[in-house]
Structure 1
Amino acid sequence: MDRTTPEADWVSRFADEVIAEAERRAPGKPIVCASGLSPSGPIHLGNLREVMTPHLVADEIRRRGHACEHLLSWDDYDRFRKVPAGIDPSWSEHLGKPLTSVPAPPGSPHRNWAEHFKAPMQEALKALGVEYRGISQTEQYTTGAYRDRILFAMRERTRIDAVLDAYRTKDKGPEEAAARPQSGKAGQQRRPDAPLDAAELAAAEGSGAAGEDDGSAGQAGYYPYKPYCRACERDLTTVTAYDDETTDLSYTCACGHAETFPLRDVHHGKLVWKVDWPMRWEYEGVIFEPSGVDHSSPGSSYVVGGRLVREVFGGEQPIGPMYAFVGITGMAKMSSSKGGVPTPADALEIMEAPVLRWLYARRRPNQSFKIAFDQEIHRLYDEWDALARKIDEGRAQPGDLAAHGRAVRTAERELPATARRLPYRMLASVVDITTGHDEQTLRILAELDPDNPVTSLEEARPRLDCATHWVATRMPDDQRTRVRAEPDSELLGALDEEQRESLALLLEGLDKHWSLDGLTSLVYGVPKVRAGLAPDAKPTPELKAAQRGFFALLYRLLVGRETGPRLPTLLLAVGADRVRKLLGG
């Protein structure tokens, strides 16, 4: 039993609640945590919160020695609702079909639309250390796993319709968010009267569920089951009759097809979402499941589902928090339908798995946060490395220590880590300057700390690979470093005496200070010495101005502009001989 993680974070508090609730509901049985994803398009980093929240809680429960299963329901039997941006508009002919009956996008190696979008998410979850049991809703429905509950729901359709009808005329708003069955202590829920902003309402976009109707009553009455047409495969169907005794169901389709079949024997449709979700809670015995904020308004699937699972299916609603919006620095809110949405697989190309896990572990589910794809990733890694140093020195706060522990290991295993924690921004600068040339990169990394040199690029991986990918795909073109091929003779000829003396002092100290720390002291120290101060003197406003001027001069002589990567890193990357040439030495 692993109790090394301090009980000082939201994950531990939710684990306490879930264990207590499981003992009340089903003592001695494995605890079930759940999440669901619809592979209707790219499964983005906002959707990942739907998985990471129960994963972290289930993982903590397993650390404590309890049997706990994380179910991940792939809602691949949902209807194909919209052709995403960038896909041939002709795919609109498949609207209304189950996602597993829609062809994969052009060029895909996968057998259908759902598998195409599930595959990268499955690989990302494996890399993130997320242990789960995946459930295909296509398989559940088409194999008849839910047959008895479907027949039961059809028999109880009048009661179901009465519950749904109580919400159909209500304006959607946040008033009933307080009805969620949890203490609120761990999640720190919002006040019921607090407004939901547009960013938060986007948190669960792409789930495939929020936009589905409840099977509203037609001329033949209300039916909670929606058949897929067995001629055109779409759900453009209307149930016209149903016999409780024989289970014969009759329907017509917009395509012109009509038929009658025994529902007990034919599995070619599904319960409407607002009935499907509570049915599954009871079927699986779910204790904990989070949901997006869009599920907490009157008439929403979560609020209505709470009544249906109790009053119709005889089960209990899971406890669990609302989860808030996850954004991307430099981008508007995420939307699967608009295309170009960063996915977990995209994030794992530019950051290590523990860092991505940490972003979800350190914030309570109802707290919004952003994931850095732009240059903010340098700041993120600085913060991550600073936390690691605090832990190494025994100075980390309990909550930070807990979040870090959940990021770097699960109940089952340690996640891969980079042996040498070299600064991400420095690695990006080196890769940028060397254009990814391994031999040059190793030379520079070996010279960072001559007393403890990097002897192989493997010591810097996988972080080096992440930084390399970021430079190749995310670094702005106007920030790329292009070292001058020849000295700027015109600028060198126009230097004043102060500038020439400063450059001479720098060149004189290169050999003695040729390491990252040494060059840092040198470039900051030259203006101090020129001002008659000791190299370690505290900077004054005047001295800071002199340093900025000196740095700008160096950048202009080395890269032709007044800014660039950190000078110590730049000098190491350029190399001593070339530095002397470009600085007129």
Structure 2
Amino acid sequence: MHWAQRIAEDLIRKYPEKEVFVCASGISPSGSVHIGNFREIITTYFVVRALQKLGKKTRFIFSWDDFDRFRKVPKNIDSSYEKYIGMPYSEIPDPYGCHGSYAEHFESEFEEALRVFGIDVEFIYQSKEYKSGRYNENILYALKERKKIYDILMRFKTQQPTEEEKNSFYPITLYCESCRKDNTTIESFEESTGEIQYGCKCGNSGCVKVLEADNIKLNWKIDWPMRWMGEDVIFEPGGADHSAETGSYNVSKVICREIFNHQAPEYAAYAFIGIKGANGKMSSSAGNIITPGELLKIYTPEIILFMFSKYMPNAAFNIGLDDDVLRNYSEFERYSNANEMGRLSDEDIKYSLELSYLGAENSNLPKFGQMAGIFPLVNFDINTLQHVLNKAGESYSIDKIKILSDRIYHWINEWNQEKAISIRVVKDKEYYDSLSDKEKDWLNGLCDVIENSENQDNTSLMKDLYDVCHDDDKKIKKANQKSLFSIVYKLVLNSDSGPRLPLLIKTVGIEGCLNLLKF
């Protein structure tokens, strides 16, 4: 059984009376949301889809934690932004000047990518929720229960608590009304009036009535369970950092039960996603990230969804942007074709394909690997590419071709320049002279096949090409074929590899091939 279906069925068993299943995820907009963060929302999305397939009503919420403090300036942001450290993300100017705030810039960037994935989610902007006063009664309650909260937090720490620390503990962040930073110290809290006296490093001091405040936020391990209660969340995943024995989820689960008298949601820990060849986990502040939007410039949304859905959440994997792109496309094409023909027996893969299907727009496309092999040979001209595919017996509209051609162009030019191969202009006599007599005989035989290939289909042409270097021993024949094809690629493309030979012949043309292969 697919992991998302198993989670969904478990939720239905545990909450048989639920009319609406609320599933949640959330991210702090500290910078561009990368594909590691993307696993947060995609895990919830697949569970929501599985619940819907089982006939259940769902509410899928995504919290933007944009009332969190700005902690660190990412590498791609001007260092002058250090002056905003300690302010909420929602109150910092957009470093690019195109949105109303720092938070809005990165929220909009990610939300646009989610629309491409067809992910329909209800966004909750926590800065608006906190400033609206929605949580104020819960904040006041947490302040009154602060010593109990302190005791719970200490259960998960090795240090010995002190009475002094306990008395000075407050489970909130308070932003200064003057400088809007969290460099504040709570000097007193009067339970009877709900008033806080505070001072700030900027020199400001003030008195805040909790029930009227718009500058107070609960700290994370109290904020999280408070929102579980407020939204009646029954499922939310979390990263490995939240999933440790003393991590946020286990702490918040106890606070949810003992302070807010509410049952914590079911939880799935997810592993981090890596970039192939990079060390360490992705981090917006470190700058070693790939965003979902950038990944969409290389992969169709269906393939990205499939890559995530086929792995259990707790399985780590790397996304490569080298030849892995060809392998990922080929795998998806192979599974999709087998499924359409009723030949796919792996039920988990079938379910993953169902979760990844977004509609007919990106279905029945040309093969990515085939197009990637010939697109640079026609100088990335989409009309010539369409013509070559037609000659090879594959008819596709320009719109269908463009879905992949734009991605191929970006992939080759931004990530794999070595694949920007081109057709030789003159013969490589020096390389030809280095060949053995047997190899030259193969080449002459191959030229004879090409000369008579005008009306051949790809299957029969490929058979004739294979037979050029025939040997009764299959292993020897296969090695001969590999050597011959490598010779052809070297003489025609000055490369060790290239598209399948029938397609190469259709691309270069019979005369063009013979001009480079016949000596």
1:67 positional shift: 1.4
- Note the alpha carbon deviations across 1:166-218, whole angstroms, 9 max, x for none: 223269xxxxxxxxxxxxxxxxxxxxxxxxxxxxxxxxxxxxxxxxxxxx975
Counterpart for residue 178 of structure 2: 231
Q: 2:181 aligns to what SS in structure 1?
A: coil
Distance 1:489 1:298, change over 3 A: closer
Counterpart for residue 447 of structure 1: 391
Compare 395-404 and 273-282 and name the one that shifted more. Answer: 395-404
Alignment of 1:102 with 2:92, yes or no, is yes
Compare 274-283 and 160-169 and name the one that shifted more. Answer: 160-169
Counterpart for residue 191 of structure 1: none
Structure 2 counterpart of 1:102, one-letter code: I
- Note the alpha carbon deviations across 1:500-523, whole angstroms, 9 max, x for none: 432332222224265543443343
**Structure 2: gaps (5+ residues):** none
1:125 to 111, 114, 117: 114
Compare 276-285 and 120-129 and name the one that shifted more. Answer: 120-129
8 Å contact from structure 1 (residues 372, 380) kept in 2: no
Q: 2:235 aligns to what SS in structure 1?
A: coil
8 Å contact from structure 1 (residues 309, 317) kept in 2: yes
Alignment of 1:418 with 2:352, yes or no, is no
2:479 to 528, 545, 567: 545
8 Å contact from structure 1 (residues 229, 253) kept in 2: yes
Query: Which aligned pairs between 1:48-127 and structure 2 lie closer than 5 A?
Result: 48-105=38-95, 107-127=96-116
- Note the alpha carbon deviations across 1:89-128, whole angstroms, 9 max, x for none: 11111101101111222x3411211111111211111111
2:29 to 24, 39, 46: 39
1:402 positional shift: 1.1
8 Å contact from structure 1 (residues 15, 60) kept in 2: yes
Distance 1:415 1:456, change over 3 A: closer
Counterpart for residue 435 of structure 1: 379
Q: Aligned partners of 2:13 and 2:436: how far apart in 1?
A: 76
Counterpart for residue 125 of structure 2: 136
Counterpart for residue 5 of structure 2: 12
- Note the alpha carbon deviations across 1:245-286, whole angstroms, 9 max, x for none: 211111111222111121211211201111101111111110
Q: Aligned partners of 2:151 and 2:302: how far apart in 1?
A: 48
1:304 positional shift: 1.0
The two structures have a TM-score, normalised by structure 1, of 0.83
Alignment of 1:306 with 2:250, yes or no, is no
1:467 positional shift: 2.3
- Note the alpha carbon deviations across 1:278-309, whole angstroms, 9 max, x for none: 11111111000111121123442211111111
Q: Aligned partners of 1:573 and 1:331: how far apart in 2?
A: 37
Alignment of 1:406 with 2:347, yes or no, is no
Q: Aligned partners of 1:108 and 1:428: how far apart in 2?
A: 37
**Structure 1: gaps (5+ residues):** 1-7, 172-215, 534-538
Alignment of 1:335 with 2:283, yes or no, is yes
Compare 539-548 and 397-406 and name the one that shifted more. Answer: 539-548
Alignment of 1:482 with 2:472, yes or no, is no
Aligned-residue identity in percent: 31
8 Å contact from structure 2 (residues 413, 420) kept in 1: no
Q: 1:320 aligns to what SS in structure 2?
A: strand
- Note the alpha carbon deviations across 1:138-176, whole angstroms, 9 max, x for none: 0010111111111111111111111112223269xxxxx
Counterpart for residue 5 of structure 1: none
Counterpart for residue 266 of structure 2: 319
Q: 2:98 aligns to what SS in structure 1?
A: coil
8 Å contact from structure 1 (residues 329, 376) kept in 2: no
1:495 positional shift: 5.6
Q: Aligned partners of 2:216 and 2:286: how far apart in 1?
A: 28
Distance 1:455 1:582, change over 3 A: same
Q: Which has the higher contact order (CA 8 A, sep 6+)?
A: 1
2:221 to 270, 274, 284: 274
1:482 positional shift: 2.5
Compare 32-41 and 453-462 and name the one that shifted more. Answer: 453-462
8 Å contact from structure 1 (residues 296, 302) kept in 2: yes
